[in-house]
Amino acid sequence: MSAATRVRLVRHGEVAAAHHGKFYGGADVPLSEEGARLSVELAERLALDRPDLVLSSPLARARAVADPLAARCELSVRVEPDLRELDRGSWTHLSTAEVEARSPGAVAAYCADPEAGAAPGGEPESALCARVWPVFDTLAAEFPGASVVAVAHGHVIRSVLRRLKGWSAPRSLELFVPYHAVVELLLRPDGSGEVVHLPAGELPEALARANPSPPDR
């Protein structure tokens, strides 16, 4: 049996204040000054374990961790377009209140069913999973026994955990991945795997209000 691939799946840092509380999804929004500083600090800590491979979403907020990490380890970043964040369509750059003003009940409908309730013009849950999951299947097949750091986004991480935990899409939305969270996984070439470490995180207040009793708890 092939050895499992150790993957540390990292969320980017805090975005600039102008984007707090808004859906920004696949938009390439900047980090805050603190987010940028802490990204470099996190890269330095991750480099202590000397990963064999560094992957990153193409978005700048993810590269802010991946680039200095790879430089410290004398590696090149493997940029994976399929690790970009969920496309929010017409909700991009809107707050939950603004979405609700335009389409009352839309956020709650999304929380109840992320597939049917996806933002107009945005990416449904099935499309997110269809592009993200194969990235990690390929990793496990090509790099058995290796140590990998992959820097990505909240919904990318959620989709991977959904698969490993056997969660439904609504159940997975109960998990909020904090900025700079490091989720540790073991992945095998047969598609199986396990979650070794999962940091705690609170659901943002606006989403909690929209979905006070999440289904499939």
Q: Cα separation of 209 and 170, whole Å? A: 15
Whole-number pLDDT of residue 201: 63
Q: Tens digits of per-residue pLDDT, 133-159?
A: 999 999 999 999 999 999 999 999 999
Q: Where in 112-158 does DSSP place strands (E)?
A: 147-152
Single-letter residue type at 132? V
Indicate whether 204 pLDDT > 80. Answer: no
Please report which confidence band the pLDDT of residue 1 belongs to, taking 50, 70 and 90 as the band edges: low
Cα angle 51-57-62, degrees, rounded to a multiple of 5: 75
Q: Of 131, 148, 130, nearest to 139 (Cα)?
A: 148
CATH topology of domain 5-19+31-87+123-201: Rossmann fold (3.40.50)
Note if the pTM is more than 0.85.
Answer: yes
Q: Tens digits of per-residue pLDDT, 16-61?
A: 999 999 999 999 999 999 999 999 999 999 999 999 999 999 999 9
- 3-class DSSP state of 193: strand
- Please list, in sequence order, all residues whose beta carbon lies within 8 angstroms of the beta carbon of residue 155, skipping any fewer than 6 positions away: 25, 85, 86, 128
Single-letter residue type at 192? S
